[in-house]
Amino acid sequence: MTRRDCLQFLAATSAAAAAAASARAAAGDADRETRMKWWHEARFGMFIHWGLYSQLGRHEWVMENEGIPVAEYEKLAATFRPKPNVARDWARLAKQAGQKYMVLTTKHHEGFCNFDSKLTNYCATKQGPGRDLVREYVEAARAEGLRVGFYYSLMDWHHPDGARCATDEQARRRFVDYIHGQIRELLTNYGKIDILWYDVNWPLKPDGWESEKMNEMVYQLQPQIIVNNRNGLRGDFTTPEQTIRASSDQAWESCMTLNGSWGYHKADTDWKTPRTIVRNLVTCAHDAGNYLLNIGPTGDGSIPPESSKVLSATGAWLQRNGESIYKSEKCPGMRSQSAGFTRRGNTLYMHVHYWPGETVALGGLMCKVKSARLPATGKEVKFEQEAFRVRFTGLTDKAPDDPVTTIAIECDGEPRQDMDAVRRTRPRREV
C-alpha cells in the first residue's frame, strides 16, 4: 500500500468512525427524548426529604452541622417510628397540588436507608420502623397515578469507608461495591422506577465512583428510567438547586425548598407563599424546565401544615390554569416587569402577578392576536392591537384570579416579542 493509499484508508476509517459516533449520538438523543417525553410534559414534581434527621427537626445536615458522633446519631434509628400510611398522605397532597411525579430520599447523607437492604442493618426494615418505607412510598405514588423517583446520596457519613475511600484503594473498592449494590437493590426490588436522582459525589471523582459502569447498570435494570447529573456525568437532566437557571443545551429541573431547609426544621418559619410558588413554576416552564418542590415531613411522617396550605393553594391555581403549564413549550424572548409567560403552540399565556386594573397591556408582540380569554373562567377578554402594543380591556379593577391571573392569547403564529422595535419608534432627541 502506497503512502497515498494509507492516507486515504486512514481518512476513510476516520470518517466512518465519526459517522458511526454521530449515528450513536443521534440514536442516544432519540432514545432520551422518548424516555423523557412524560417528564417534559409534567413540569411539576414533589421532592421529599425524610430520614432520621426528621426526628430532631434541626435541618437534614444536623449530623454534620452539630458534629454528632456516628455512635450517638445511629441511636436515632431505633426511635424512628413513622405513623402508618404517611406516604399515602404525601401522594394525595402531591396529586392535589397538581404535581405529576415524586422523588423520595431513599438514603440521605446520614447513611440510613429507608428501604430494605441486604447490605446493611442500618435500614428501615431492621430498625425502628420495622417495615419498608420506600415500598410504601412507591405503592402510594402509583395509587395516585404519579411517576416514581428515587433520590440516593452517594456520600455517606455513616459507612466506615465513606470518607476513607478517597485515600485507601481497598476502602474505595468496598464502598463503591456497597453503593452500586444498593442502587441495584433499589432498581430491582420495586418494579418500574421513573427517575434516579443522585446527590453529592464527594469524596470521589466519577472514575472513582465508576460512574459510567453505574449508569450502564441503571439503564440495563430500568431501560425507561431518566437519571440526573450528580454522579459526575452529564446524565439526562441537570439540577440547579435553590435557583432557577435554565440550561441552553440540556433538560433541566430546578429543585427548591418551601422554607430554608430540605429536611424538617421546626424553627424555620420562612415559608414561600403560593404567589412565589406559582411565579417560580411559570419561570421554569417559560424556559422548558421543571420545578421540583420539596416537603420535609416530621419524624412521624406528618406534613407540616404550612406545606399543605401552600401546595393546596398552588394546586387550586393549577386546576384553573394548568393548560398553561403542563405540556408547555419554550417561550423565548417574552419578558415583562409585571408578568411571566408560557406557551403552547401559538397560544401565549400571560401570567400577570402585578395586576394593573381594568386594562392589561403588552408591548412588542410581533404577531397578530386572534382572541384572548381567562383560562380560570373561560371568559372572553376584549383587546385592541396597535403596531407594537396589545391592550386587553374590560377587565376588573381587582385581579380576577389569585395568586396570579393568566390571560390566554391566541396568536396567528408563534408568539414573538421585539422590544427593540418598540424603542425604534421613539422620537430621537437632537443633541
User: What are the residue boundaries of the structural domains of the chain, listed by start?
Assistant: 32-324, 339-424
Judge whether residue 424 has pLDDT over 80.
no
Task: Give residue-wise pLDDT tens across range 56-90.
Answer: 999 999 999 999 999 999 999 999 999 999 999 99
Judge whether residue 422 has pLDDT over 80.
no
User: Are the C-beta atoms of residues 189 and 222 closer than 8 Å to each other?
Assistant: no
State the average pLDDT for the chain. 93
pLDDT computed for residue 211 by the predictor: 98
**Domain at 32-324, CATH homologous superfamily:** Glycosidases (3.20.20.80)
pTM of the model: 0.92
Rounded to whole angstroms, the Cα distance separating 71 from 77 reads 11
pLDDT computed for residue 27 by the predictor: 55
Rounded to whole angstroms, the Cα distance separating 49 from 260 reads 13
Amino acid identity for residue 70 in this structure: V
Alpha helices (H) in 144-238, listed in sequence order:
169-186, 206-209, 211-221
Task: Give residue-wise pLDDT tens across range 266-294.
Answer: 999 999 999 999 999 999 999 999 999 99
Rounded to whole angstroms, the Cα distance separating 286 from 331 reads 5
CATH 3.30.390.50 fits 339-424, yes or no: no
Lowest mean pLDDT among 31-45, 137-151, 411-425: 411-425
3-state secondary structure of 324: helix
The position carrying cell 422554607 is 259
Mean pLDDT of 219-227: 98
What is Dmax (Cα atoms) for the chain? 85
Residue 329 φ/ψ region, left for φ over 0, alpha for ψ in the -120 to 50 degree band, beta for the rest: beta
Beta strand extents in 337-404 (DSSP E only):
339-344, 347-352, 360-363, 369-373, 382-385, 389-393
- 297 upstream amide cis, omega within 30 of 0: no
